[in-house]
Amino acid sequence: MQISWSEGQLPESKLIERVIAGDSVAGEVFVSRYGRLIAYCVVRVGVLAADREDISQQVYVHLWEKNYERLKAWREDAPLSSFLFRVTSRLALNHVRQKTRHREVAMLHTSAIDEWESRGSIYPETKEFPVEAAVEVGLQRVALSRALDSLSERDIRLLLLRHWDGLSYQAIANSLGWTINHVGVALSNAECRYRKSLLADSPELFTQFPQVNAKK
């Protein structure tokens, strides 16, 4: 049974079943529904503009080839968007690694993607929260977590007391048994180390120094 464009909200599992069965219209619905995610992932990984369309097409070839072997690897207990992000990112990164001057960027993204996968899937797309924002927020949260994890326990405690709990310098000083001046110097140093770690890892994800309280 062929599906129509009016069935664009067909559940992911049913859509994939029909794509694998060779339903050409289902294939078109798949491209329409997930094309933006694939294209955006290609951009965010760092593929040059001249190569982006080719890499996006390679993703579809990769999913479709060998009788849909790769697409059959998707499991319904995981969001299809997360699965596609992983497949697309891997292909795009393989391409970027071949470009010598982009090798360092590729290594950073590979590390971020690995950690993202270990922490959970990307956020679901909604009308108010498009897929571009979902991918961006996911990568930002990984970067924020990585930056905090690189700090000492004392630095993390100071940052959370100030930016998460919202305590004043005086309240922090009372809590730690420090002077206000000591708190000010230590907090400034902790923020500097946090900023340096964050921007060294993923500078392209932030236009300004983000708030520490992005991590609970």
pLDDT band at 172 (very low <50, low <70, confident <90, very high): very high
More confident residue, 7 or 70: 70
Contacts of 9 (CB under 8 A, 6+ apart): none
- Return the CATH class of domain 150-216: mainly alpha
CATH entry, 1-131, from 3.40.50.12780, 3.40.50.300, 1.10.1740.10, 1.10.3720.10 = 1.10.1740.10
On the 0-12 / 13-18 / 19+ scale of CB atoms within 10 A, 23 is: middle
The whole-number pLDDT of residue 99 equals: 61
Q: What is the pTM of this model?
A: 0.50
Would you list the domain boundaries of the chain? 1-131, 150-216
Tokens describing residue 31: 């491209």
Three-class SS of residue 191? Answer: helix
Mean pLDDT (whole number) for 148-165: 85
pLDDT tens, 104-122? 444 545 555 555 455 444 4
